[in-house]
């Protein structure tokens, strides 16, 4: 049971959901404000975002079912018990990317690469902010440690301290967010000079986000779970594709700048 922040008509409102709701709400609003920067029609973009958000939620929950499939197979009624299990950050990423890709293929006014560029920084912000919801709930907690930054969590026995991996994720994500700002400024300037809509921000965000998970995940108490193996396979594949993606984009942009200078 997550800590209760307040009650509305007797219904408990838990801190975890309040923080994540705020993080995702800000993320969506920020993405919408950035659509025009990447030449995306706002009405069409918002329509795609609605379905992409649902795809994100299905993906986040879907990975829980995949990780613990044998449990749900033995008792199918648990599929409808949303209080059981967890939501996967990697699953949310996969669900959002696949949904956006399919919808953008069907739309002439929303480019997939442009939408990814618009969403990159806000998505990282959502992780940085939302992880404090995880911290308040004590989920995604770290292994026991005497490290100076280790903290005691209420459900542990007296004297037990753990890595606050939720805070590590948040701080790393804020670092990524700050790092993306000059990269976006550079890419937008090069896009303006060359007229090429080459994505740079999104693949860089994916690469750095994957590095964050690979660095911090081993310190989580549940790192031995099968879900982590699946998540890391997905992240490794996403990183490899993103390295190729950003290399091709930067090469094309620099080539376009050189041609502009020659002419």
Check residue 86 and give its pLDDT.
66
Check residue 224 and give its pLDDT.
56
Average pLDDT over residues 219-224: 81
Give the C-alpha separation, 181 to 249, whole Å: 17
Give the C-alpha separation, 26 to 33, whole Å: 11
- Token duo for residue 94: 């996969």
Q: Are 209 and 127 in contact (CB under 8 A)?
A: yes
Encode pLDDT of 136-176 as tens digits.
888 889 999 999 999 999 889 999 999 999 999 999 999 99
Encode pLDDT of 23-71 as tens digits.
999 999 999 999 999 999 999 999 999 999 999 999 988 877 777 777 7
Encode pLDDT of 227-243 as tens digits.
567 889 999 999 999 99
Any alpha helices (H) in 109-200, and if so which ranges?
A: 112-137, 165-194
Q: Hey, which of 60-64, 75-79, 186-190, 200-204 has the most confident mean pLDDT?
A: 200-204
DSSP-assigned letter for residue 37: G
Check residue 12 and give its pLDDT.
58
Q: Are 231 and 216 in contact (CB under 8 A)?
A: no
pLDDT band at 6 (very low <50, low <70, confident <90, very high): very low
Q: What is the pTM of this model?
A: 0.87
Check residue 200 and give its pLDDT.
95
């Amino acid at each position: 049971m997550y800590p209760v922040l307040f009650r509305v008509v007797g219904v408990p409102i838990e801190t975890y959901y309040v923080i994540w709701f705020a993080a995702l709400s800000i993320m969506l609003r920020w993405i919408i404000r950035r659509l025009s920067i990447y030449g995306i029609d706002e009405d069409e973009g918002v329509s795609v975002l609605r379905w992409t958000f649902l795809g994100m939620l299905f993906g986040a929950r879907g990975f829980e079912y995949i990780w613990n499939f044998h449990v749900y197979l033995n008792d199918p009624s648990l599929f409808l018990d949303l209080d059981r299990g967890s939501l996967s950050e990697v699953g949310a990423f996969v669900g959002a990317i696949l949904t956006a890709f399919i919808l953008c293929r069907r739309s002439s006014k929303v480019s997939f690469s442009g939408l990814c560029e618009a969403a990159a920084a806000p998505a990282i912000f959502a992780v940085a902010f939302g992880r404090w919801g995880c911290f308040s709930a004590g989920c995604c907690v770290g292994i026991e440690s005497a490290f100076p930054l280790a903290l005691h969590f209420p459900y542990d026995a007296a004297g037990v301290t753990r890595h606050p991996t939720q805070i590590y994720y948040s701080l790393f994500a804020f670092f990524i967010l700050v790092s993306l700002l000059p990269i976006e400024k550079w890419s937008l300037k090069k896009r303006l000079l060359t007229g090429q809509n080459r994505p740079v921000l999104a693949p860089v965000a994916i690469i750095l986000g994957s590095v964050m998970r690979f660095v911090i995940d081993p310190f989580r108490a549940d790192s031995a779970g099968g879900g982590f193996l699946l998540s890391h396979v997905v992240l490794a594949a996403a990183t490899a594709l993103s390295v190729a993606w950003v290399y091709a984009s930067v090469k094309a942009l620099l080539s376009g700048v050189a041609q502009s200078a020659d002419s």
